[in-house]
Structure 1
């Protein structure tokens, strides 16, 4: 937990440190390619709507939202006042925003928005969550991110003094 990214990569590439630069890049490309294929397969085989971390966040927000009280004085279908834990939040579902700004920034319904969705749609509000979440968290978007292959560097190329490739 205290290591930085350079130390993490350094530990992964411990054996490759003595290799030529092109071989190190190929090793990195190969290892990341394995990780990406594994993640792609896991998500592709899942029956979820969103990527794994988004599903976890949404479940936690649903659980937290179930403990909150929602007030809708003017009977609006888009503006709600959510009360709980000594705090008050204003939620606007049409704007996908909450006065606590978490919904605005993360683009996934926060606990306050979940409580508002529960009041608006009843106990079956779980089916409407995707309509109020950003599509960047969708399973399809996630799979597209891992779809492109990582190409390895050719070991037949070397740099000249001017910074141009020379074929060997």
Structure 2
């Protein structure tokens, strides 16, 4: 009874769940709340499960989102059949490399080390667990779900609470966390996060150890210390090493290409300005007309309906340049509106 008094009644809270959802939407504009009720789960029927079966299902099959698997969990499943520190290091090496050529090379090493483990791992699509196959949509190279694990560990206290009490616990926890993040950001003076700044500064330290060859069209060939070659495309914000593509932070090769461009008299901007996704629309000049279905009056010449002269309309007409009697005899009746004529002299004249 004490627990029920403190946390609320389980059954009653399910009865007012829809009212709780409506309250969230009314107090937090833009909030999306979805309540889905399944009285006869098909999966339970397929597996012949009942209310006393001790099974928990976690689904991450979001078809519209990029799916990734935690590499640590992938290895945990593998080591049930294939164990060894050397094998573990080989698997992590396969996941960590960014370049597809290097990925194929380390996968061959894994095959020589343990053919059965290689066959087991090859059955899992590499795009779910290997950086070299990530699409770059998420702009993160994370291989684990540590963020989810940390979040789940904070919710242990709320798991046995009634549904609304549990949801309120999650909402308050996330609110506090967001506020704490904002406090940290307010103290930071840089334009990037601490992590992004550290990565970028480390990438800048090797720029004098590489050779750059401009290939035209914002493309550069960059040769490293060990004579490995990469192609940087500043226009596409990409490098064949794929670190820039996956993380959104300019890699060593990209920074070298930027410095070369600036040294040759071209505007490029600091590497910090290249972090993140590119702008979808280019910045227009102040005197450049926008491409829109609505015609702008900025470059149009207005013809007055009174005196039929250009440069003003009927409302501001003072008879300049022609007789105001031009309106007479036009057949306009009382109550009708005069439509002003707009000509396109700049475009068609």
**Do these two structures clear the TM 0.5 threshold for a shared fold by scoring above it?**
yes
Whether the 8 Å CA contact 1:79–1:91 is kept in 2: the answer is yes
1:102 aligns with 2:243: yes
- The CA deviation string for residues 96-142 of structure 1, in whole angstroms up to 9 with x for no partner, is 222223323333211100111222225xx996213433358xxxxxx
Match for residue 222 of structure 2 among 77, 82, 88: 82
Using structure 1 for the length normalisation, give the TM-score: 0.62
Residue aligned with 2:209, SS: coil
1:17 aligns with 2:159: yes
Gaps of 5+ in 1: 137-168
TM-score by length of 2: 0.33
Instruction: Give ranges in structure 2 of 5+ residues lacking alignment.
Output: 1-71, 74-144, 279-349
Point out the structure with the larger strand share. Answer: 1
1:13 deviates by 2.9
Q: Secondary structure at the match of 2:189?
A: coil
- Asked if the contact 1:65/1:113 (under 8 Å) is kept, the reply is no
- Does structure 1 retain, via aligned residues, the 8 Å contact 2:261–2:268? no
Q: Please tell me whether Structure 1 or Structure 2 has the larger radius of gyration of its CA atoms.
A: 2
Change (3 A) 1:108 1:5: closer
C-alpha separation in 2, matches of 1:7 and 1:89: 36
C-alpha separation in 1, matches of 2:235 and 2:198: 24
**1:112 and 1:39, CA in 2 relative to 1: closer, same or farther beyond 3 A?**
same
Two-structure CA RMSD over aligned residues (Å): 3.1
Match of 2:175 in 1: 33
- Report if aligned partners of 1:103, 1:110 keep a CA contact under 8 Å in 2: yes
Q: Is the 8 A contact 1:43 1:52 kept in 2?
A: no
- How far off is 1:19 after superposition? 2.0
Matching residue of 2:200:
58
Work out the CA distance in 1 between the residues paired with 2:148 and 2:259. Answer: 45
Using a 3 Å threshold, how does the CA distance of structure 1 residues 101 and 8 change in structure 2: closer, same or farther? closer
Instruction: Report the alpha carbon displacement of residue 16 of structure 1 after superposing the two structures with TM.
Output: 2.9
The structure carrying a bigger helix percent of its residues is 1
Structure 1 residue 46, shift from structure 2 partner: 1.1
Q: How far has the Cα of 1:36 moved from its partner?
A: 0.9
